[in-house]
């Protein structure tokens, strides 16, 4: 190793899973998503920091326990239409979770949120990426 410090930034990610149902109003008749249906969701929160804190963390993964509490109490085994203030698309869910995280979790962390990715299936996802802050 040369001893030089590479230019770059550390990122961490933490995934959470939950089960929920939803339907999307306003779609054409016969569209599969206009009917009530469910998904096994995965949500990934990505954080970064300008510098690591002891012992070398962006943020301690344990400090993200509040996210699991929100998911378990508000989203898991619910009808998302009943609990979200927006249409329950993956895009809107990612944005809603990012907004909640920045307001309720981020102020107590050394790291900051970069993005939230919501997957309804193993092959599709939507992501909300925060502007550089």
Active site residues: 33, 77, 120
Contacts of 104 (CB under 8 A, 6+ apart): 66, 70
Q: Where are the alpha helices (DSSP H) in the chain?
A: 65-70, 80-83, 90-104
∠88-92-96 over CA atoms, to 5°?
A: 105
């Amino acid at each position: 190793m040369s001893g030089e410090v590479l230019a770059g930034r550390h990122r961490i990610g933490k995934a959470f899973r939950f089960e929920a149902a939803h339907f999307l109003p306003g779609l054409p008749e016969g569209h599969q998503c206009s009917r009530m249906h469910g998904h096994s969701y995965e949500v990934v929160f990505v954080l970064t920091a300008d510098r690591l804190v002891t012992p070398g963390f962006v943020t301690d993964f344990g400090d993200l326990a509040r996210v699991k509490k929100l998911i378990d109490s508000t989203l898991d085994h619910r009808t998302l239409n009943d609990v979200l203030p927006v249409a329950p698309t993956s895009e809107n869910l990612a944005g809603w979770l990012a907004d909640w995280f920045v307001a309720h979790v981020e102020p107590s962390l050394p790291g900051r949120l970069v993005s939230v990715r919501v997957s309804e299936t193993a092959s599709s996802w939507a992501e909300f990426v925060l502007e550089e802050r």
